[in-house]
Structure 1
Amino acid sequence: MNSEDLKIGWIGLGKMGKPMSEQLIRAGYTLQVYNRSKEKEAVLKKEGASSASSPKELLEQTDVVFLMVSDDSATHEIFSGKNGLLKADVSNKIIINMSTVSPEISREMARELANNGNHYLDAPVSGSVKQAQEASLVIIAGGEKAIFEKVRPLLETIGKKAVFIGETGTGNLTKLAVNTYLGIITQGLAEVIHFSREKGVNTGDLLEIINNSALGSPFIKIKGDAVLQENYEAAFTLNHLTKDLGLAVDAGMNTPLGKLAFETFRNAEPDLGKEDVIAIIKKL
């Protein structure tokens, strides 16, 4: 079966899941969705998607199911809960988990699916809401290479690049490395802005210098502008980054800057968890 003939299912229609799933509709794929909050399905249904009553029903009626949910707990519920994916009596289905979760849960769910001849890819993404809306995410995949190649056209509809890393869980590990770097950069930017302000340097001048040097990047530009405008509306919430840094520590990341970033963000989470990651500057 060619990829364009595949029936696609999607679970999780939050800030990332909604624009990512919409890319598949725009590309002409048949899409069926499931979301615990049914009001979030309404927009997708207006765009041509249908809905399922449960993950089990979704998997029974489609060939490939994508997940974009918040964490390990949500993933476990989608798979193992009442009417979860593992309750479906099916074979040769493909489940692609694009959530940022632990490598352990990916390996566990892959083993469970394999018992019935089904397949699992861990395929978290690098990028945030804007990149999801523009289909410019970078997708980081682990699992069976043949399955990755089969669904590559779907992944490249959602993002600008799909990279196969290796066996199940390696996509998750690589994403945790990327988000550890994100935490370090975010804290570093916040610290130098804080330091320069204390010494009387204009923040706009500092950012102009950084952005026109080898240190400049789109991320620094976006987050620097957010600080200048005091706009901490979340593109990527501080509590989600804290969760990812914690997963990295649990996976064995024990280097100085990574551990320090985790502690900084964890201490800020009770007050700033729903704000954007750059809101960490308020805790300095």
Structure 2
Amino acid sequence: MNRKKIGFVGTGVMGKSMARHLMEAGYTLNLFTRTKEKALGLMDQGAKWKESIAALAEDSDIIITIVGYPSDVESIYFGENGILENAKPGSYVIDMTTSSPLLAQTIYKQAKEKGIHALDAPVSGGDVGARNAALTIMVGGDEEPFQSVYPVFELMGQNIVLQGESGAGQHTKMCNQIAIASGMLGVTEAILYAEKAGLDPKTVLQSIEFGAAGSWSLSNLGSRMIEGNFAPGFYVKHFIKDMKIAIESAEQMQIPIPGLQLAKELYEKLNEEEGGNDGTQALLKYYKLMMA
């Protein structure tokens, strides 16, 4: 794909690094966020600020969004000032928010009616994956648009798979979150057990992370737990949102998900203790509150 203009909406924990990779590769970047101050670093590096979603959509060939909640996605895609009403025919819209599969399908259908190519492409890998351009990108949509924007995906991630038609990327991300949710309970309980048994959690981690218990969460978030580092690579409040979407989808398919439901309950308790803006590894704090 030729160096077309990319519009980027959302410069949070992950989005900021993702946008930077695109700029470093030579793309012209149009930028919009709800809080302009969060975009100043990228603007200093050459990103062009747009005063509205409509202005960004009108002046971009590829539009990438990564925001917080499905309601945020709806607010920027629909309506007379939204992306779909203002994007050019033939342009590409890529929602990389973890959102509802049904919403992804609605965006796809309305985009197609306007001659716009839509992909849902949620990501996994957190702040580290975003900084290192090593995200896993799960894509739903048509083959031809996917291949057209694949070089753009490659600038942000390493494991990039077209999972199927629209909504398939979001369904795949739900599988990812379901696997993580119960796994985070295990990581938390293992670290807590090591501490209470009088072991050095760091050396315990060295032993178990490369065996059958090994996982990305254990290696990357277990070490943060041990250090008491609860800064967000991925917010608790957003993880709760993801689990709610997964539970709703699972219930529609009549799938039992007791592990996911328990994880959601515990994270909601952490959120009630003002842990919503912490990283998901902060679940350890709630366990310790239960022991107090």
Q: Distance in 2 between matches of 1:70 and 1:82?
A: 21
* TM-score, structure 2 normalization: 0.91
Offset, 1:34: 1.1
Q: Distance in 2 between matches of 1:113 and 1:97?
A: 12
Aligned counterpart in structure 2 of residue 158 of structure 1, from 136, 156, 159: 156
Aligned counterpart in structure 2 of residue 190 of structure 1, from 188, 191, 194: 188
Matched-pair identity in %: 31
Asked whether the 8 Å contact 2:187–2:217 carries over to 1, the reply is: no
Structure 1 residues 35-57: Cα deviation after superposition (integer angstroms, max 9, x where no partner): 11112232222212212221111
Partner residue in 2 for 1:42: 40
Q: Distance in 2 between matches of 1:232 and 1:41?
A: 24
Asked whether the 8 Å contact 1:59–1:93 carries over to 2, the reply is: no
Partner residue in 2 for 1:282: 285
Partner residue in 1 for 2:268: 266
Aligned counterpart in structure 2 of residue 133 of structure 1, from 108, 127, 131: 131
Partner residue in 2 for 1:33: 31
Amino acid at match of 1:281: L
Alignment of 1:1-284 (within 5 A): 3-81=1-79, 83-88=81-86, 90-252=88-250, 254-271=256-273, 272-284=275-287
Q: Where does the alignment leave 5 or more consecutive residues of structure 1 unmatched?
A: none
Give secondary structure in 1 for the equivalent of 2:29: strand
Q: Distance in 1 between matches of 2:13 and 2:87?
A: 31
Asked whether the 8 Å contact 1:16–1:129 carries over to 2, the reply is: yes
* TM-score, structure 1 normalization: 0.93
Give secondary structure in 1 for the equivalent of 2:114: coil
Q: Distance in 2 between matches of 1:26 and 1:205?
A: 39
Count of residues in Structure 1 that have an aligned counterpart in Structure 2: 282
- Which deviates more from structure 2 when the two are superposed, residues 34-43 or residues 101-110? 34-43
Q: Distance in 1 between matches of 2:114 and 2:137?
A: 26
